């Protein structure tokens, strides 16, 4: 029995030995190839892992590399080139498998200039010094271009065939430009189109569309057209259409928001600062005599406010004392007050003392709202009266155009007289007191509507 057991044990041990020996000499299935590579999640999809047997069948090994990696930038870019050769550095994020001559002839492009040499800095292949010669005074644009696939002429790649991922550019402005406006009109009111001429300090190679859209800015107006003056390269004329009674402003300035491949845009960047021309509207000075009068003055104030017009009221002193609330409203709404004597006196009928008394009493009534202006009632005065007023610090204000509203010829006639007398710096006289001024109120509305459409401004004659 014992012998049989020993025999079975010997057979089992023999089988185990045979199995162990066979596993030492039989080639196992090739293991999977395990490769670790630090990539972002966006690049993992482009990587395939092959079994060892598949690699052997293909006869080649798989090279894994990132799809994005090599970048370049320009450094030490000059502020301007002053018509002299200059240099700047080109830095790659990794060494590149390319010579300086290949970079110069196949990859670097200069607009308005020439790349004359490309040399490695300290024998490095990731940092290169680029020498450039400008073509005249124009701004120079240097760009780096590369084919997208390595192995082709002009392709910029690392030693491991990683292609360039960006296309850097550098701009070196030429010497500064300046601009000067030629003589322009004094006022823009009443005109549908305003020509404005300006000249650059040197010929400028720029398209009219580029200049209009990127180099010009108009305020209170739109640019109708832009053309060269007599086909000159340095002189231009812009035609503006006024859009309001504000100051019309045309500004010529540097253009930064434009494509780097536009030579004209590069030229506009040479304008170190903006230059502006302002053309004001024509100003008309409306004046009203003989008030204030509760039956008329509030309606006139309403119309003036509606058309953003400010005027000077030559007031009668006793009416100032009688209607202080109207005086306050006038001042609060931006109007000014002039002296029209205490009770609308004929100054030629008064003695010197009486002239001084009627003017000074009115000034006292006006108090802090008084201005150094007076107008003689009936326009009756002489040199003595002018001198007496001057001794009180008053200057006489008359008018440049008469509307004849005091004769009550009808609202249409008064409005026509206002428009006919309207010109830059005109002083027009109307009346808000001294009788029925209904026609004046009606005419004022009609005349201001028309004159505002012609972009006139209305400001007080006395401050």
Domains of the chain: 72-172 (2.60.40.1220), 179-279 (2.60.40), 284-458 (3.20.20.370)
pLDDT score of 403:
95
pLDDT score of 362:
98
User: Is the model's pLDDT at 52 over the cut of 60?
Assistant: no
Residues 6+ apart with CB under 8 A from 318: 342, 343
pLDDT score of 57:
43
The answer to whether residue 340 is catalytic is: no
Find the catalytic residue in 81, 285, 340, 431.
431
pLDDT score of 256:
65
Per cent of the chain over pLDDT 70 is 84
pLDDT interval class at 13 (50, 70, 90)? low
pLDDT score of 457:
95
User: Is the model's pLDDT at 273 over the cut of 90?
Assistant: no
Closest to 198 in 3D by CA, of 304, 271, 125, 128: 271
Residues 189-237 have pLDDT tens digits of: 988 999 999 999 998 888 899 899 889 999 999 999 999 999 888 999 9
pLDDT score of 1:
46
pLDDT score of 304:
98
Residues 328-345 have pLDDT tens digits of: 999 999 999 999 999 999
Q: Cα 111–267–164 angle (5° rounding)?
A: 35
C-beta separation of 65 from 160 below 8 A: yes
Cα–Cα distance for residue pair 443/413, rounded to 1 Å: 8
- Per-residue burial over 17-45, b if 16 or more Cβ lie within 10 Å, else e, is eeeeeeeeeeeeeeeeeeeeeebeeeeee
Specify burial of residue 405 (Cβ count, 10 A radius: 0-12, 13-18, 19+): buried
Cα–Cα distance for residue pair 305/143, rounded to 1 Å: 59
pLDDT interval class at 25 (50, 70, 90)? very low
Closest to 93 in 3D by CA, of 62, 117, 68, 110: 68
pLDDT score of 5:
47
Strands (E), 340-462: 370-374, 395-396, 401-402, 427-431, 457-458
pLDDT score of 264:
81
CB atoms within 10 A of CB 308: 12
> What mean pLDDT is predicted for residues 369-381?
98
User: Is the model's pLDDT at 319 over the cut of 80?
Assistant: yes
Cα–Cα distance for residue pair 317/361, rounded to 1 Å: 7
Cα–Cα distance for residue pair 200/253, rounded to 1 Å: 11
The encoded tokens of residue 47 equal 């990587």
**Cis peptide preceding 292, ω within 30 of 0:** yes
User: Is the model's pLDDT at 406 over the cut of 90?
Assistant: yes
Cα–Cα distance for residue pair 463/450, rounded to 1 Å: 26
Please tell me what DSSP assigns to residue 81. Answer: -
Phi and psi at residue 172, in whole multiples of 5°?
A: -115, 105
Residues 128-169 have pLDDT tens digits of: 999 999 999 888 999 999 887 888 877 898 888 889 999 999
Find the catalytic residue in 289, 290, 405, 432.
289
What integer best gives the mean pLDDT of the chain?
86
User: Is the model's pLDDT at 410 over the cut of 70?
Assistant: yes
Specify burial of residue 406 (Cβ count, 10 A radius: 0-12, 13-18, 19+): middle
Phi and psi at residue 154, in whole multiples of 5°?
A: 90, -5
Lowest-confidence region among 7-11, 96-100, 387-391: 7-11
Cα–Cα distance for residue pair 68/78, rounded to 1 Å: 30
User: Is the model's pLDDT at 366 over the cut of 90?
Assistant: yes
Place of tokens 């690699």: 55
Cα–Cα distance for residue pair 94/370, rounded to 1 Å: 80
Kindly report the three-state secondary structure assignment for every residue of 134-154.
Answer: ECCCCCEEEEECCECCCCCCC
Residues 427-452 have pLDDT tens digits of: 999 999 999 999 999 999 999 999 99
Lowest-confidence region among 14-28, 57-71, 251-265: 14-28
- Rounded to a whole number, what is the distance in angstroms from the first to the last CA of the chain? 141
Cα–Cα distance for residue pair 429/287, rounded to 1 Å: 5
Closest to 50 in 3D by CA, of 65, 70, 35: 35
pLDDT score of 203:
87
C-beta separation of 426 from 400 below 8 A: yes
Task: Please count the residues of the chain.
Answer: 463
User: Is the model's pLDDT at 42 over the cut of 50?
Assistant: no
Residues 6+ apart with CB under 8 A from 348: 380, 381, 382, 385
Give the three-class secondary structure for 347.
helix
The encoded tokens of residue 214 equal 């990127």
Closest to 352 in 3D by CA, of 396, 394, 385: 385
The encoded tokens of residue 5 equal 């057991």
C-beta separation of 131 from 172 below 8 A: no
C-beta separation of 50 from 69 below 8 A: no
Place of tokens 């830095």: 91
The answer to whether residue 289 is catalytic is: yes
């Amino acid at each position: 029995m014992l012998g049989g057991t020993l025999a079975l044990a010997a057979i089992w041990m023999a089988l185990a030995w045979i199995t162990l020996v066979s596993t030492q000499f039989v080639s196992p299935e090739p293991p999977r190839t395990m490769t670790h590579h630090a990539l972002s999640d966006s690049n993992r999809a482009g990587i395939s892992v092959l079994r060892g047997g598949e690699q052997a069948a293909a006869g080649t090994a798989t090279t894994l590399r990132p799809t994005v990696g090599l970048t370049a930038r320009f450094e030490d870019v000059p502020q301007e080139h002053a018509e002299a050769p200059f240099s700047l550095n080109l830095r790659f994020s990794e060494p590149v498998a390319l010579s300086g001559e290949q970079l110069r002839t196949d990859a670097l492009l200069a607009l308005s200039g020439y790349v004359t040499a490309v040399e490695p800095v300290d024998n490095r292949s990731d940092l290169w010094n680029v020498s450039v010669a400008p073509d005249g005074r124009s701004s120079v644009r240097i760009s780096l271009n590369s084919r997208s696939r390595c192995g082709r002429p002009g392709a910029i790649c690392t030693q491991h065939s990683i292609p360039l991922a960006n296309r850097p550019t550098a701009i070196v402005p030429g010497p500064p430009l300046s601009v000067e406006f030629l003589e322009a009109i004094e006022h823009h009111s009443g005109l549908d189109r305003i020509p404005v001429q300006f000249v650059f300090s040197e010929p400028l190679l720029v398209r009219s569309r580029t200049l209009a859209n990127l180099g010009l800015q108009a305020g209170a107006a739109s640019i109708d057209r832009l053309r060269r003056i007599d086909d000159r390269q340095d002189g231009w004329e812009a035609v503006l259409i006024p859009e309001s009674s504000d100051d019309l402003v045309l500004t010529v300035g540097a253009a930064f928001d434009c494509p780097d491949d536009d030579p004209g845009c590069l030229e506009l960047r040479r304008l170190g600062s903006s230059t502006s021309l302002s053309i004001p509207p024509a100003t008309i000075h409306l004046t009203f005599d003989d008030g204030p009068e509760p039956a008329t003055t509030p309606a006139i104030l309403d119309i003036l406010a509606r058309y953003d017009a400010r005027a000077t009221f030559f007031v009668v002193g006793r009416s100032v004392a009688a209607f202080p609330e109207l005086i306050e409203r006038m001042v609060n709404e931006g109007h000014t007050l002039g002296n029209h004597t205490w009770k609308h006196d004929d100054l030629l009928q008064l003695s010197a003392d009486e002239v001084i008394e009627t003017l000074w009493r009115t000034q006292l009534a006006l108090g802090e709202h008084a201005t150094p202006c007076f107008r003689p009632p009936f326009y009756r005065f002489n040199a003595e009266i002018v001198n007496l007023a001057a001794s009180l610090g008053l200057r006489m204000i008359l008018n440049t155009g008469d509307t004849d509203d005091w004769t009550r010829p009808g609202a249409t006639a008064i409005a026509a007289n206002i428009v006919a007398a309207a010109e830059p710096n005109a002083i027009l006289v109307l009346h808000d007191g001294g009788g029925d001024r209904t026609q004046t109120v009606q005419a004022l509305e009609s005349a201001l509507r028309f004159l505002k459409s012609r972009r006139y401004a209305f400001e007080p004659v006395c401050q």
